[in-house]
Structure 1
C-alpha cells in the first residue's frame, strides 16, 4: 500500500525513507532550490529523471568542499568559476551547501545559452543568492572580460563538451586558479585529427590497430585528450589526480581530473606531452592548445 513502511528481515515494519533521507540532504538545505531545479516536484516528490544528475553533483561537491574549506581559511572570500554551467545545478548546490552559510565568496556561472543564463539569474534572485553571477558568453570571452576578477580560486567544468574543457583549463591558467576540478565530456577533436592524419608515425606499426575502427578511434581520442590535459596541467605547475566521479551506471562520462597549483612545473611532463603529440601526428594541429608552440 502506498506510504506503507518497509518490512525488515525481522518482520517488523520500518518507516519508508523520507525524501530528505533518499536525497541525502544536509541540515538546512533548501527544498525550494531542489524544486526550482526540478529535482523535486512541486508537491515534494522525487523527480527520478533528475536524481542521477543530483548524485553526480553531490559526489563532485565532496571533492570540492575540502578545497573550499582550505581556500576560505583566514577570512578569505573564495571565488569559483563554473564553465559550461548549463542549468547551474553545480553552482546552485555549491552555493546552497557552502557559500550561503560561509557568508562570503562568489560563484560565476559561464554559459553560452541565453535562456539558461536568464533562468539562473531569475532563480538566484528569487532565492536571495546574491553572490551568484551568470554570464551569457563563451569561456574564452569570459577570460577577456574586464569586469571579471583577475584571479579565481577554483575553476570547475562538469561535462563541458569537447574543447570547452580545454577552454576552462586555459581560463584557469590565465586566472592563476589555485585548483581546477574537471569532468570532461564528448571529446571529438583529437579523434577527428587521428582520422585525418592516421597518426603517420605509427601507421606501419601494430599500434595503428588502436584506431582502425571508428569506435576505437573515438575512445582512443577521448583517452588521449585527457592524458594530454593532465600532462599540460603538470607542466604548468599543478599536481594532478585522476579518479572516477560516480559509478558507471550513473554516467558514461565519468573521469574526474583534480588539479592543485603547487608552482612546480614538471619538465618531464612537458617533454612527454610534446612527444605524444609528435608520435600521434598531432603536434601541428594541437600543439598550441597544449602550450607547445610551433617549431618547438
Structure 2
C-alpha cells in the first residue's frame, strides 16, 4: 500500500458493512475504524477488549462535554484552538480531530506532552492521517505557557490526568491564554497533603477536624479534596462558571473528578474571599502567590 493509499485508508470513516460493526461497538457516527486501530483501541480484527472499551468510554464521555463548547465557540466562523495538556498517546486529541475538526476547514489542536517517544509517535500518526492542523510539542505545561511561538490565545484547554501540580499549570496556561473554556480531570495531588503534614493545619490542629488527616491515606485524600475545591474557587474568582461532576469509566479509580469551567467574565469576589479563608484555615497561605497569582484582592469585601 502506497503512502497516499495508507492515508486515505486511515482517514476513511465507517462505511457499508463497517457501519454495522461501528454500531455494535457503540462508536460515534463518522468515527474512523482505521484510526481506532492505529491508536490500538481496536484490534486488527476490529474488536474491543475490556481495557480498550473502558478507554473509549472515557474519551467519549469527555467528548460529550467538549463538543458543545467547540460548537458554541465556532458558531460565528471562529477558528477554534485547543490545547491538550499531558496528551500522552493523544487518544482525546485524535478522536476530537476525527469527529469534529476534520470536517472543518479551520481550527487547530496542540498536544503537549513531556515524553518524547509519545510525541514522535503522535506526530507520525498525524502525518499518516493527513491531520494537518494537529501539532505535538515535547514540553511541560509550564514551558508551553512561556513559549513565544505558541498562539497568544487559546479557546479550549484540556488536561486529562495531569499529575500533581500539572493541573495547576494547565489552569495557569488557560488564564494566561485567555481560554474561553477549560476541561480538567486532576490526577494525583501531593502538594497540599505535604503542607498539611508539615503545618498540621495550625488553627484546626486542636479541633476534632484534625482527625480528617491524622492517618496518611486520609491526609492524601483530604489534600486532593482541598486542592480541587481551591482550584474551583480560583477559577470562579477569575471569571469562570464552574461545574464539577464525575467522569464515567473511572469507576474503580479515585481520580474521576471532572471540572468544566466556562468563561463568563463575572469574577466572583466571594469565591476569592472563601479561597483566602480556606488557605488561612488550613495553613496554606504560602501557596497563594505560587498557585493563585491572579487571585483578586478581597480586602474591600
Q: Report the TM-score when normalising by structure 2.
A: 0.89
**Comparing 48-57 and 201-210, the one that deviates more:** 48-57
Q: Which structure 2 residues correspond to residues 234-245 of structure 1 after superposition, within 5 A?
A: 234-245=236-247
Mapped partners of 2:24, 2:254: distance in 1: 23
**DSSP-derived class of the 1:156 partner:** strand
Instruction: Say which of 210, 213, 216 aligns to 1:214.
Output: 216
Q: By how many angstroms is 1:248 displaced?
A: 4.8
The equivalent residue for 2:271 is 269
> Which stretches in structure 2 are left out of the alignment for 5+ residues?
1-18
Q: What RMSD, in angstroms, separates the aligned Cα atoms of the two structures?
A: 1.8
Distance 1:286 1:149, change over 3 A: same
**Comparing 42-51 and 130-139, the one that deviates more:** 42-51
The equivalent residue for 1:56 is 58
Q: Which string of whole-angstrom CA distances, capped at 9 and with x for unpartnered residues, describes residues 161-198 of structure 1? A: 11110000000000000000101111111111111111
Q: Which structure 2 residues correspond to residues 83-98 of structure 1 after superposition, within 5 A?
A: 83-98=85-100
Instruction: Say which of 23, 29, 32 aligns to 1:30.
Output: 32
Q: Does the 8 Å contact 2:55/2:249 carry over to 1?
A: no
The equivalent residue for 1:290 is 292
The equivalent residue for 2:127 is 125
Matched residue count: 279
Q: Does 1:180 align with 2:182?
A: yes
Instruction: Say which of 51, 69, 72 aligns to 2:71.
Output: 69
Q: Which string of whole-angstrom CA distances, capped at 9 and with x for unpartnered residues, describes residues 187-223 of structure 1? A: 1111111111111111001110010011111110000
Q: Does the 8 Å contact 1:85/1:158 carry over to 2?
A: yes
> Which stretches in structure 1 are left out of the alignment for 5+ residues?
1-16
Instruction: Say which of 79, 82, 85 aligns to 2:81.
Output: 79
**DSSP-derived class of the 1:157 partner:** strand
Query: Which aligned runs of 4 or more in structure 1 are off by greater than 3 angstroms?
Result: none
Distance 1:181 1:192, change over 3 A: same
